[in-house]
Amino acid sequence: MLRTLSVVCSLPFLASLAVLMVNDLILKAAFPGWITGKLSDVAGIAMVGMLSTALAPSRRFLRFTAIGMGFLWWKSPASSPFIEWVNAQHWVEFGRVVDYTDLVALAILPWCDRLAREKTAEPMSWPLWRRLLAVPATGLTLLGLVGTSAIPTRQTYEIRDVSSSEAMRREDVVAAILAVAAKHSLACRQACDRPTEEQRLEGRGMWLIYRFVGPKAVSIEVSAFPGAIFVGSSGFQRADAVRQDIRAEFAARFKGLEYAEPLSPPR
């Protein structure tokens, strides 16, 4: 117990936890790409590796094999039935991208093993500080490891002009969408030079994608990471606020529009 507590309260472990949480809550949404996609995997494997050393320091080969096989299973289609079963229980929704290049994160295990051994060999200094830090560090560790695979909430709907045979004026539609995006601090990240075709607007762990799907309709998708586990409102609440503002903005600017949503409820 003391050995595990020593690792959980160590600076390398807490740094890995901080990287995992900041990357999942902020960086992935602000800077989507290869680096932020792999950073959470590296930080998560580092935490699991250090914990495994604290729990079973003398069984290095067995630990590395178990972590490697478990991570391979999670990143492969073989884990899909389990994920579907968990999601069907409606406790919490998980998701992951099948990407075998994520296995590169396993290369950090030897370094984590050595680091954890050094920390468990150290005496438990500052006993009171360690006790106070143990509970929040353990709780955040569980939330961090679970949250990295949480599915962002997603809402999709379509707005159509049913008032006349004339095409929608796309510039006016774009102006209405951008007004709502500005209210929620969403800035254009993709297709910024094609506003009358499509755009992706992002900010604060949320993104809005719109596409014109004909002369008289625009499709809108709003997604948000489930940040309520740690701070702020939930992803669903934030996405729903954007949806309501879009409805209000379009109702104020246009007449004769039809607002269509999918039959299944949004996640």
Per-residue model confidence as pLDDT tens digits over 162-186 = 776 677 789 999 999 999 999 998 9
Per-residue model confidence as pLDDT tens digits over 76-114 = 888 878 877 876 776 655 666 677 888 898 999 998 888
pTM: 0.55
Please choose, from the candidates 34, 73, 65, the residue with its C-alpha nearest in 3D space to the C-alpha of residue 49: 65
Which residues neighbour 13 within 8 Å (Cβ) at sequence distance 6 or greater? 7, 46, 47, 50, 51, 116, 119, 137
Specify whether the CB–CB gap between 133 and 231 falls below 8 A: no
With 0-12 / 13-18 / 19 or more C-beta atoms within 10 angstroms meaning exposed / middle / buried, residue 196 is exposed
Cα gap 112→45, rounded to integer Å: 9
pLDDT level of residue 256 (50, 70, 90 thresholds): confident
Percent of residues, the chain, with pLDDT higher than 70: 71
Specify whether the CB–CB gap between 48 and 30 falls below 8 A: no
Please choose, from the candidates 212, 234, 211, the residue with its C-alpha nearest in 3D space to the C-alpha of residue 223: 234
Structural domains of the chain ordered from first start: 2-147 (no CATH), 153-260 (3.30.160.110)
Reply yes or no on whether the pLDDT at 40 is more than 60. yes
pLDDT score at 235: 64
Per-residue model confidence as pLDDT tens digits over 115-128 = 877 765 554 444 54
Per-residue model confidence as pLDDT tens digits over 174-224 = 999 999 999 998 999 888 999 999 999 987 767 899 999 888 899 999 887
Reply yes or no on whether the pLDDT at 265 is more than 60. no
Bridge partners of residue 188, in order along the sequence = 201
pLDDT score at 224: 77
User: For the chain, what is the radius of gyration of the CA atoms?
Assistant: 23
Reply yes or no on whether the pLDDT at 266 is more than 60. no
Please choose, from the candidates 37, 252, 19, 6, the residue with its C-alpha nearest in 3D space to the C-alpha of residue 125: 6
Following DSSP, what letter does each residue of the chain receive, concatenated? -HHHHHHHTSHHHHHHHHHHHHIIIIIHHHS-SHHHHHHHHHHHHHHHHHHHHHH-TT-HHHHHHHHHHHHHHHTSGGGHHHHHHHHHTTS--B-----GGGGGGGGGHHHHHHHHHHHHHS---SHHHHHHHHHHHHHHHHHHHHHTTBPPEEEEEEEEE-S-SSPP-HHHHHHHHHHHHHHTT-EEEE-TT-TTTEEEEEETTEEEEEEE-STTEEEEEEEE--GGGTSSS-HHHHHHHHHHHHHHHHHHH-SSEEEE--SSPP-
**pLDDT: is 232 or 95 the higher one?**
95
The CA–CA distances, whole Å, from 210 to 30, 146, 158, 258 equal: 18, 30, 9, 16
